[in-house]
Structure 1
Amino acid sequence: MNDRPAPDRPVRLTRWEQRTEVPLFAAGLLFLTGYAFRVLTSHEAEPWNDIALILVWSTWLLFLVDYVTRLRLSGLGARFLRVHWLDTLVLLLPLLRPLRMVQVYQAVQRRHDRPRLDLYARVMAYASLTAVLLGFSAALAVYHLEHTAPGASIRTFGDAVWWACATLTTVGYGDATPVTLWGRTVAAGLMACGLALLGAVTGSFSSWLIQVFTREDEKRPPERG
């Protein structure tokens, strides 16, 4: 795999991203852990709730430092907001950080001379991991927004997980649906991401099957006329 940065990318920015993507992914998991503890436990669970809050804010500050550093190293100025719109969105909504799994995987692979997995397997692997993390994040957010709302059908975290699974797989049973504005906003985003991730997995799997069948046909001896 070619490790040289693209001509229009500063070398220092490329090196910074290679060194920080994996640690920041770990920080993202810590953020999700702290947020989950805040959502799923009672507010009287002290001092653990305070520790979880500190964990959430400290990891978010790491994301902010990384964002500002990459903005400065890029040399793009205000254009950075438009070119790296996903990074801006993830900074404002850290629960969307699983969407950066593609960049994390590329950062890991740049540390090796060659890919460790076949292309199609890689696509299915990071798309599946992104779906799991994104579904868990959405379940937490919807449970937090919905479980005390009047007329809500999502009353427990189990309901929220069931809803997230049905939404990500585009099944949509309708037995658990958000009733609040922000809950439905989260649902709309998860629907869009679910379609994209499902398309990536199924498309890669289909391409892999075609490749396997093609190789088998090439190995088969020609039939005699």
Structure 2
Amino acid sequence: MLARGLPPAAVDLAPAVTYGSWALFTADYAVRWRLGGPRRFLAYVRRHPLDTVVLALPLLRPLRVIRLYDAVQQRRDEPRLSLYGRVIAYAGTTAVLLGFVAALAVYQQERGAPGATIRTFGDSVWWACSTLTTVGYGDVTPVTPLGRVVAAGLMVCGLALLGAVAGAFSSWLIQTFARGDEQLPPAR
């Protein structure tokens, strides 16, 4: 989508690689499900919601990085970051990946639309950043129906991520102040 002027062979190869990787992911999902028992499909789906969502919506495949991040953070069954640090790290990783995917989706829809203000990938990244952070300057906005659907989803996700980070931070502050109050000598 971003590389224009590619030779026809490369243009034909890109979807083949995409569909091939999706087929490999589907095969991996099916094998892991079958190893858990053939009658345990719903239990597998409940235990692996991210994999299930990514299987249904391949566009969200980069979100699997969260599992890799979680594996790196584990050391002797003890996380290296506190719960609050992990929430903020997950939210940050999700925001970057979600913003990139939304910028690509909106750019694809808007780049040739009549009356579009999002004409370049840079415009779509700017739009995604301002939308995800709930700033929404309004200088660039999607005009196509699918672009607006992506925008609505990004707005909801931006609010959810902001709420998760704000909640984790305020919970950490309350816990820190409560510990400080417990360590003070009793008042006379």
TM-score normalised over the length of structure 2 = 0.82
- Structure 2 unaligned runs (5+)? none
Query: Are residues 1:66 and 2:28 paired?
Result: yes
Q: 1:155 to 1:90 in 2, by over 3 A?
A: same
Q: CA deviation at 1:155?
A: 0.5
Which letter maps to 1:70? R
Query: Which among 105, 125, 128 is matched to residue 164 of structure 1?
Result: 128
Q: Is the 8 A contact 1:95 1:134 kept in 2?
A: no
Query: Are residues 1:219 and 2:150 paired?
Result: no
Q: 1:155 to 1:205 in 2, by over 3 A?
A: same
CA RMSD of aligned residues (A): 2.7
Distance 1:78 1:114 in 2: 30
Per the alignment, residue 98 of structure 2 pairs with 134
Distance 2:153 2:51 in 1: 16
Distance 1:136 1:209 in 2: 31
**Within 5 A, what are the aligned runs for 1:137-156?**
137-156=101-120
- Structure 1 unaligned runs (5+)? 1-38
**Within 5 A, what are the aligned runs for 1:1-225?**
39-44=1-6, 49=11, 52-74=14-36, 75-76=38-39, 79=42, 83=46, 86-100=50-64, 102-109=66-73, 112-223=76-187, 225=188
Distance 1:41 1:95 in 2: 18
Aligned to 1:40, what secondary structure does the other structure show?
A: coil
Q: CA deviation at 1:60?
A: 2.1
TM-score normalised over the length of structure 1 = 0.70
